[in-house]
Chain A
Amino acid sequence: GDSVTQMEGPVTLSEEAFLTINCTYTATGYPSLFWYVQYPGEGLQLLLKATKADDKGSNKGFEATYRKETTSFHLEKGSVQVSDSAVYFCALSDDYKLSFGAGTTVTVRA
């Protein structure tokens, strides 16, 4: 079945550092790919998405490119802020359901 594997955390960075969170997937079809973010005590918010190969999703300085050849959707941000501290989830949808990675906790220190 469909599955998502993302790098384990926690990840701790200094402000203005470069962030990358690796995500790879297994799917039988051609899924849509998503990154969700969860701030402490809140629900999940959609951060960005890509619906086909070579699409780049971007939002709030974050980017991820749908790479079919490597079945990957790595999340990147060039300069993180303390406010980016959160849990990040990679997910895919190949039908009406989402499959999630385990989540990566990111802490940004001032």
Chain B
Amino acid sequence: DAGITQSPRHKVTETGTPVTLRCHQTENHRYMYWYRQDPGHGLRLIHYSYGVKDTDKGEVSDGYSVSRSKTEDFLLTLESATSSQTSVYFCAISPGQGKDEQFFGPGTRLTVL
């Protein structure tokens, strides 16, 4: 298994509070991604990073920000959580050789009350 961990694995929070999810990799892969998984939608890309301090938006980036200060860590922040952000969040990594497969972490289940 690719060395990807996510923390926390489960979180319950209230509307309006800030939340940060962490993804940590030990593979030294260049690309890191954050997805959310919702019934009927598959996985949708929130943000991705192609290097330290290099990030870009995905298709559902509104309400989310990211940071990558080290190769191994990619943080996803919900500045002010809303109930629509209740979801399962997955981190993924890729070596970045073009049309590569991605390797996924175990996921974080976030509930916003």
Contact = CB atoms under 8 A, between A and B. Distances in A.
A29 to B, nearest CB: 9
A95 B98 contact: yes
A97 B45 contact: yes
Interface string B86-113: 0000101010101111111111000000
Interface stretch (B35-43, B64-72, B77-85): B35-43
Interface residues of B, number: 25
Contacts of B105: 43
A32 B45 CA distance: 18
B48 interface: yes
B48 A96 contact: yes
A34 B99 CA distance: 10
Contacts of B31: 96
Interface residues of A, number: 23
B43 A32 contact: no
Interface in A56-70: none
A31 B99 CA distance: 7
Contacts of B96: 96
28 contacts: A31-B99, A32-B99, A32-B100, A32-B101, A34-B101, A36-B104, A43-B104, A43-B107, A44-B43, A44-B90, A44-B92, A44-B104, A46-B103, A49-B101, A93-B101, A95-B98, A96-B31, A96-B48, A96-B96, A96-B98, A97-B33, A97-B45, A97-B58, A98-B45, A98-B92, A100-B43, A101-B42, A102-B41
Interface of A: 4, 31-32, 34, 36, 42-46, 49, 51, 89, 93-98, 100-103
